[in-house]
Amino acid sequence: MDRTHDVIIIGGGSAGYAAARTAKDAGADVAIVDQGPLGGLCILRGCMPTKAILRTAEIAALIQRAQEFGLAPAAAKADLKTIIDRKDRLVSEFADYRIGQLRDPRFALYEHHASFLSPHELQAGPFRLTGKAFIIATGSVPREVAIPGLRECGYLTSDDLLDLRDQPSSLIVLGAGPVALELGQFFSRIGTSVTVIQRSPHLLSHLDDDIGTVLKQALEDEGVTVFTDTALTGIRKGVEASRSVSFIHRGEPMTVRGEQVLQAMGRRPCVDDLNLEAADVRVVDGRVVVDGAMRTSQRHIFAVGDVTNLYDIVHIAIQQGELAGFNATHLAEVPRQFDDRLVTEVIFTDPQVALVGLSEKTCRVREIPYLVASYPFSDHGKAMCRGDRYGFVKLLAVPENGQLLGAQIVGPEAGELIHELIAVMYYRGTVYDLMRMPHYHPTLAEIVTYPAEALVERIDKR
């Protein structure tokens, strides 16, 4: 069966649906091809399920600190089955809403696997689809890592762990990225003995080193064992179905044992069986290569979200989807470009990590001049009252005029606090603006005025 559409989108997750909605609003005949399960990574295996279970861990951690706040000690026993049941109910609600959007009659939905036949043709089950433009939004899957013995011994991915109903007594986490640390801290807080093994010298190695240092201290103080700067050498099965992970740590061979192993060393773009060769779409190191307009090596084929391996952040995937949806329906015009000036990331560990714009590491690599100042939560009144002692706020500014280049927050409610700094940067504001804006006392938000004041003093002296 042959069918023709203006825009054909492969993948119905957050990025794909954003592209479909935008293209439809531009008047295009839009088709979505998704073999299912429908809903997308964010809803089914990412943002929503992880945040649902992390809320349980936050409550458990507060209960464990009851005596610190003058309350009688209390014990909270975790029931992982019930935790997962709650998560599943929430995910089902979110997924049902998204499925309803995808099955809206204004779209043509093909629930089949997609495979390119040529740059303008796609096979979707029994359907041969021809399109004027295509948008690839197939997301990502857990990356497979070659570690001796890992496959033979068996391991869990983040996808597996979100459905685990039998709580392990001990868990070895391979990797220290956002997913690894969020899930590792969750299991530690509900009573599992957790060991984190990281290859790089710092946790969250893609960020500034001071962020990883603070988070490592916080995790270790909670009882998580953390090894950084390691080299994995092998994994073996131990007694009673346990696993032994061997590695080199600071030149010394070491072995740790655990009931389960979480392989959380990243994800990779999901381009399996798309037959991108037939479409003549350039792929490098497993990712679809795109330009600033989200266009691939074919001017009428776009790619958005995790499949590009640029940012594994859902709101950015949505922005890219909207951009591609517009450009795909305006092929004859100069395309709109993605603006990465306000790229934001939030990591939902405790303390939370949030950042926007440039980091010190990025400024050094790009040779961008900057001034930097930070202030710790341990010396901030509202944080002290709350018992939040980890973290800091750090601001980067242009030396000549104080315009904000970037900001990082490690600490309580960082994911909420970062939005004031996003707003200031959106309007290309300065540290002077942060000083002039009223901040209520006592609040967590007023902490941003302290590094701003330090930067103002330094700029005034130049």
Q: Which two tokens stand for residue 159?
A: 């996808």
Distance CA(154)–CA(140), nearest Å, equals 21
Q: Is 206 a catalytic residue?
A: no
Q: Are 424 and 434 in contact (CB under 8 A)?
A: yes
Look up residue 342 and give its amino acid.
Answer: L
What are the distances in angstroms from CA 426 to CA 196, 316, 338?
37, 15, 14
In one-letter notation, the amino acid at residue 1 is M
On whether the CB atoms of residues 359 and 205 are closer than 8 A, the answer is no
Beta strands in 156-300, from DSSP E residues, in sequence order: 170-174, 193-197, 225-227, 230-237, 243-249, 252-258, 260-263, 267-269, 283-284, 287-288
Cα within 13 Å of Cα(171), Cβ side: 29
What's the angle, vertex CA 116, arms to CA 113 and CA 122, rounded to 5? 75
- Which of the residues 249, 419, 439, 441 is marked catalytic? 441
Residue 438 in 3-state DSSP? Answer: coil
| Token duo for residue 456 | 């103002």
Burial class of 167 by CB neighbour count within 10 A (0 to 12, 13 to 18, 19+): middle
DSSP string, 180-202: HHHHHHHHHHTT-EEEEE-SSSS
Active centre residues (catalytic): 441
